[in-house]
């Protein structure tokens, strides 16, 4: 009995001083003292050798020793746990996170999406195509003669690997591809980026964005063209807008016209935006030239169609009174943040 008391006191002193700073050291403590082959189990096994009259007090001592060891284990475990969290990051994960700044759509995307949704209400589908084109889809199929100035190196970016390849100068090439598929009638708009070799200024850039439209069916007339475009500008600029058509020339349409709208700034009275005419030009249009239909395998005696093309930058500049084209591609947040919240 005496020797057991001494033995337990010695173990208690050892356990009291046991240093375990890390989780694996705490686990080593548990295995050594409290594990299935640990000290406490070993001492418990001694019970069978103890004389009957001593069993009761021996058991009491061992139980106290077990409780002592277990509480020391809990102590070491929580100390190691706390220490580790601090050492890892020192962060308080209960604090709210940093807010992410919310971006906004680019004005060109805003206006493009608006244009798409207006034409979709009239039954136009959106078609897309490649930005690197071949001569046929960008020029030849569109009735542009071999010597047309638009083909000039000065106006078009050619791809050096292949003299037949170029960056599309309009999205008409997408419409040619749709016509070649031969699924008639066709009623599409083609939004997209186009490229021209221009000196960059407030009014010109080497790339810009276009929406072209094409409607081909039996008995499509110039009246359909006028009413479609009139609907478009009323939705885009408001119902008080006036339109006028002026005769023009494009190789891909005959007859051709340019459409003006009454000046949004002065309401038609005359100002610097409309150069004191009361009108601003917004798009070109016309009836699809029969040569073009033939080039794409469509019978011009059965089908007619209209087409139009406009620059998204131009419409956006009019709508938001933006004076310099370069603002669209400079990524200046002071410009872009003005469109936060616009839809």
Rule CB under 6 A: which residues touch ligand 2NL? 172, 175-176, 212, 214, 250, 252-253, 284-286, 288, 292, 307-311
In the complex with ligand 2NL, the residue whose CB is nearer, 119 or 252, is 252
In the complex with ligand 2NL, the residue whose CB is nearer, 28 or 118, is 118
In the complex with ligand 2NL, the residue whose CB is nearer, 212 or 241, is 212
> Given the structure tokens 């850039």, which residue do they identify?
205
- Torsion angle of alpha carbons 13, 16, 17, 21, nearest 10°? 160
Q: How far is the CB of 270 from ligand 2NL (least distance, A)?
A: 24
In the complex with ligand 2NL, the residue whose CB is nearer, 229 or 307, is 307
Q: What is the DSSP string of 81-102?
A: HHHHHHHHT---TTSPPPPPPP
In the complex with ligand 2NL, the residue whose CB is nearer, 69 or 253, is 253
Q: How far is the CB of 93 from ligand 2NL (least distance, A)?
A: 56
Of 209, 287, 293, 278, the C-alpha closest to 248 is 287
Q: How far is the CB of 252 from ligand 2NL (least distance, A)?
A: 4
Sign of CA dihedral 44, 46, 49, 55: negative
Q: How far is the CB of 209 from ligand 2NL (least distance, A)?
A: 10
| DSSP alpha helix (H) spans, the chain | 2-17, 23-29, 39-45, 55-88, 107-121, 135-138, 172-181, 222-237, 290-295, 312-320, 333-336
Q: How far is the CB of 139 from ligand 2NL (least distance, A)?
A: 12
- Torsion angle of alpha carbons 313, 314, 315, 320, nearest 10°? 80
In the complex with ligand 2NL, the residue whose CB is nearer, 70 or 281, is 281
In the complex with ligand 2NL, the residue whose CB is nearer, 69 or 256, is 256
Q: How far is the CB of 283 from ligand 2NL (least distance, A)?
A: 6
Q: What is the DSSP string of 100-166?
A: PPP----HHHHHHHHHHHHHHHTTPEE----SEEEHHHHTGGGT--TT-GGGSTTT--B-TT-TTEE
Q: How far is the CB of 133 from ligand 2NL (least distance, A)?
A: 13
């Amino acid at each position: 009995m005496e020797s057991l008391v001494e033995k337990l006191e010695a173990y208690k002193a050892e356990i009291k001083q046991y240093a375990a700073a890390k989780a694996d050291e705490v686990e080593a403590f548990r295995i050594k003292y409290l594990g299935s082959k640990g000290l406490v189990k070993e001492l418990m096994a001694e019970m069978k050798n103890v004389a009957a009259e001593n069993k009761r007090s021996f058991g009491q001592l061992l139980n106290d020793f077990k409780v002592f060891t277990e509480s020391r284990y809990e102590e070491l475990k929580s100390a190691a746990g706390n220490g580790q969290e601090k050492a890892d990051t020192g962060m308080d994960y209960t604090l709210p996170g940093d807010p992410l700044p919310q971006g906004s759509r680019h004005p060109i995307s805003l206006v493009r999406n608006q244009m798409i949704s207006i034409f979709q209400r009239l039954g136009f589908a959106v078609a897309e195509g490649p930005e690197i084109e071949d001569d046929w889809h960008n020029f030849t199929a569109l009735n542009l003669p071999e010597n047309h100035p638009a083909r000039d190196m000065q106006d078009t970016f050619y791809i050096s690997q292949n003299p037949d390849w170029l960056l599309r100068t309009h999205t008409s090439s997408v419409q040619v591809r749709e016509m070649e598929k031969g699924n008639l009638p066709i009623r599409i708009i083609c939004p997209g980026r186009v490229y021209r070799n221009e000196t960059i200024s407030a009014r010109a850039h080497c790339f810009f964005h276009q929406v072209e439209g094409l409607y081909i069916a039996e008995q499509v007339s110039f009246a359909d063209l006028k009413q479609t475009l009139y609907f478009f500008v009323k939705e885009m600029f408001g119902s008080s807008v006036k339109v006028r058509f002026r005769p023009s020339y494009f190789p891909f349409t005959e007859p051709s016209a340019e459409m003006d709208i009454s000046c949004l700034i002065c309401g038609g009275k005359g100002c610097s935006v409309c150069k004191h005419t009361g009108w601003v030009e917004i798009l070109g249009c016309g009836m699809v030239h029969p040569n073009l239909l033939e080039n794409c395998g469509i019978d011009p005696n059965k089908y007619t169609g209209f087409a139009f093309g406009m620059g998204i930058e131009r419409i956006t500049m009019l709508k938001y009174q933006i004076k310099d084209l370069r603002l669209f591609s400079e990524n200046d947040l002071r410009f872009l943040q003005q469109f936060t919240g616009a839809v």
